[in-house]
């Protein structure tokens, strides 16, 4: 399990208990990958060390790699990307917040903390949202995520279809072989353990 910030630290989220949630490796990587893809320039770069990276659908992994390449190209060409040189400012009278290079009239540096009411609403909307969906696979690389209460289609079985792989040094849980030299199984694991 991994600790995840509901409101990312890069967007002013805190380490307070209300903002932290425990997620399984897949869901943790999935949340960060979607954030990275859907909010280019405002989300932190995707950390490829996420334990669930190999579990993500191939099209999402490809999108993350493409966005990473785009950002790298921009930074290597000297053109600023999304948030380069920008910071948060807020107006203490209107409570409006903006990310920009210099403060608009009436704005001061910093971000406002969410109200307790907003924190509570966010906490309630996130509770239990990930545990009700079911992964199924057909053993041939086809995976589906089914909504709560769905019947498992014929020829499919419960589970993601991901398997343990190792290269003699590291172990990975992935849908496909991570690369040359990898074999099925975990290092130091047997059914007698």
* 122 close to 7: Cβ distance less than 8 angstroms: yes
pLDDT value for 148: 67
CA triple 11-17-22, angle to 5 deg: 85
* Residue 77 clears pLDDT 70, i.e. is over it: no
What's this model's pTM, rounded to 2 decimal places? 0.39
pLDDT, mean of residues 18-26:
83
Could you tell me the pLDDT band of residue 74, with boundaries at 50, 70 and 90? low
- Higher-scoring residue by pLDDT: 9, 192: 9
Of the listed ranges 90-94, 152-156, 181-185, 187-191, the least confidently predicted one is 187-191
* 26 close to 133: Cβ distance less than 8 angstroms: no
pLDDT value for 56: 83
pLDDT value for 60: 83
| pLDDT tens string 112-145 | 777 788 777 766 665 655 455 677 777 776 777 7
Could you tell me the residue ranges of all domains in the chain? 1-81, 85-114, 134-184
pLDDT value for 190: 44
DSSP-derived secondary structure for 34-54: HHHHHSTTTSPPP-TT-TTGG
pLDDT value for 157: 79
pLDDT value for 66: 80
Please give the mean pLDDT across all residues of the chain. Answer: 75
Q: What is the phi/psi pair of residue 124, to 5°?
A: -65, -40
Query: Rounded to an integer, what distance in angstroms lies between the CA atom of residue 186 and that of residue 28?
Result: 22
pLDDT, mean of residues 70-84:
58
* Short-list 33, 67, 63, 46, CA closest to 75: 67
pLDDT value for 193: 39
Share of the chain above pLDDT 90, in %: 1
């Amino acid at each position: 399990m991994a600790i995840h910030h509901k409101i990312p630290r890069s967007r002013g989220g805190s380490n307070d208990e209300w903002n932290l949630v425990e997620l399984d490796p897949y869901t943790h990587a999935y949340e960060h990958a979607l954030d990275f893809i859907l909010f280019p320039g405002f989300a932190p770069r995707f950390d490829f060390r996420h334990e669930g990276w190999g579990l993500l659908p191939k099209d999402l992994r490809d999108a993350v790699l493409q966005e990473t390449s785009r950002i790298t190209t921009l930074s290597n060409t000297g053109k600023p990307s999304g948030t380069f040189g920008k910071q948060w400012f807020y107006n203490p009278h209107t409570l409006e917040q903006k990310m920009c290079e210099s403060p608009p009239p009436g704005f001061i540096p910093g971000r406002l903390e969410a109200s307790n009411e907003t924190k509570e609403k966010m906490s309630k909307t996130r509770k239990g949202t990930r545990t009700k969906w079911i992964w199924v696979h057909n053993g041939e690389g086809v995976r589906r995520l089914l909504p709560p209460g769905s019947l498992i289609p014929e020829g499919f079985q419960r589970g993601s279809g991901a398997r343990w792989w190792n290269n003699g040094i590291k172990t990975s849980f992935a849908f496909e072989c991570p690369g040359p030299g990898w074999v099925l199984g975990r290092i130091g694991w047997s059914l007698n353990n």
